[in-house]
Amino acid sequence: MASTLTRADGTPLRVLVVDDEINIAELLQMALRYEGWDIQMAHTGRKAVAAAKEFVPDAIVLDMMLPDYDGMEVLRKVRAQSPDIPVLFLTARDSVEDRVAGLTAGGDDYVTKPFSLEEVVARLRGLMRRAGAMDARPNSVITVGDLSLDEDSRDVVRDGREIELTATEFELLRFLMRNPRRVLSKAQILDRVWDYDFGGQANVVELYISYLRKKVDAGHEPMIHTKRGAGYVLKPAE
């Protein structure tokens, strides 16, 4: 994982995600939390303006098409209280006129749907670096219960026993461990670990979860659990 961007005081950057499509907002939230950032969501323009005032984000990911205000109106209201906040527009419209209109209104960058989560993260990192965010290398070791994973050395250890993982198994476990006790859907896992479209690939997640269980949970109380109809969750053994 790349070094984490933080505020100047070392605290996590705050990002407000505004999109009325809840599944898209939740995927963005998951990807940005994976970067170590503090995320809040809003699904209407009115709530976005209120959240911007209360949450005081360092950047906003803003859908142009909302059920009440449009993105331009949200931007105007937010900039009235926070003139310098970076804004990344999301839109399904890809015409030159819309792109120019968004940037002319004061947006800092523009991503069209469908987009990859990696592209949104990369654009945001660029915006926030220019706005003064700092690079900080966090502790490279993630620990959940008696399981630890070192992002630098790629060592994985449970209860003192080293676990050998393939590259894909390592990425899947890292994603689970960066979101402990949080149920992750197959769609979220596919997008984050494989960057696949969601159709027809869910069996890949099931297969790799079974591989991980054999290596991580073998001889121990299980840490990887299935939430039927929802996804998977990793948590410390009881």
Domains in the chain (CATH in brackets) are: 5-135 (3.40.50.2300), 141-234 (1.10.10.10)
Over residues 153-163, the mean pLDDT reads 92
N- to C-terminal Cα distance for the chain? 29
CA angle centred on 131, ends 60 and 58, rounded to 5°: 35
Over residues 129-156, the mean pLDDT reads 79
Whether pLDDT at 99 is above 60? no
Nearest to 20 by CA among 50, 62, 52: 62
If you search the block for the tokens 């949970």, which residue do you land on? Answer: 217
Q: Is 185 helix (H, G, I), strand (E, B) or coil?
A: coil
Identify the band that residue 104 occupies on the pLDDT scale cut at 50, 70 and 90.
low
Whether pLDDT at 199 is above 60? no
Task: Give this prediction's pTM.
Answer: 0.60
pLDDT-above-90 percentage for the chain: 45
Task: Report how far residue 28's alpha carbon sits from residue 91's, in angstroms, rounded to the nearest whole number.
Answer: 14
The encoded tokens of residue 103 equal: 């940037």
> What is the structure's pLDDT at 43?
95
Task: Report how far residue 217's alpha carbon sits from residue 238's, in angstroms, rounded to the nearest whole number.
Answer: 13
Task: Report how far residue 143's alpha carbon sits from residue 5's, in angstroms, rounded to the nearest whole number.
Answer: 21
Identify the band that residue 94 occupies on the pLDDT scale cut at 50, 70 and 90.
low
Mean pLDDT of the chain: 85
> What is the structure's pLDDT at 102?
58
Q: Which residue type is seen at 198?
A: F
> What is the structure's pLDDT at 103?
59
Q: Is 74 helix (H, G, I), strand (E, B) or coil?
A: helix
- Lowest mean pLDDT segment, chosen from 123-127, 133-137, 162-166, 225-229: 133-137
